[in-house]
Amino acid sequence: MTWPTASHRATAALVLAQTLAVLYTTGFVWTLQLMDYPMVARLREGAAESYMEAHNQTFWRVLAPGLLVAGVTSVLLVVARGPAVPLRAALLSLALLVLIMVLSGAVATPDRTALAQHFSASVHAHLLRVSWVRTVAFTVWSGLDAWLLWRLVR
């Protein structure tokens, strides 16, 4: 049996950390998409706004740890990846991160903020559509990470 090199172990640790962070975050995003956001439209007038205000105050406390680890490991995999991680895969991981962050910051956050001020069916529908793109991006990222992990352990 050949023992993995230090470089292989370091790459495996990065991929494992990223995979765990992305899977955690993907699960959270699916919960938002299928349960949390749709239920906002069912709340009585006035309750949707207070719910979204509370949601906005706690949202990042839950999402930030996973997203931070996923972001740091994505950058590290581009600059310090081992041979088991193809450059295209590392760049795709980084591109998915950028897409998710741009959609979150430029579109979803303003929508959530607007909903905390006044519920609007059109803003809510827009948030759901944008969130589907983020949900799919996170799901693709999870699949990419699972594939990278498989490459490292086979």
Q: What does residue 63 show for φ and ψ, rounded to 5 degrees?
A: -80, -35
Tokens of 26: 């993907």
What is the reported pLDDT for 123?
96
The single-letter DSSP state of residue 36 is: I
Q: What is the pLDDT along the chain (154 residues), one digit of tens a residue?
A: 566 788 888 999 999 999 999 999 999 999 999 999 999 998 888 898 999 999 999 988 999 999 999 999 999 999 998 888 999 999 999 999 999 999 999 999 999 999 999 999 999 999 999 999 999 999 999 999 999 999 998 8
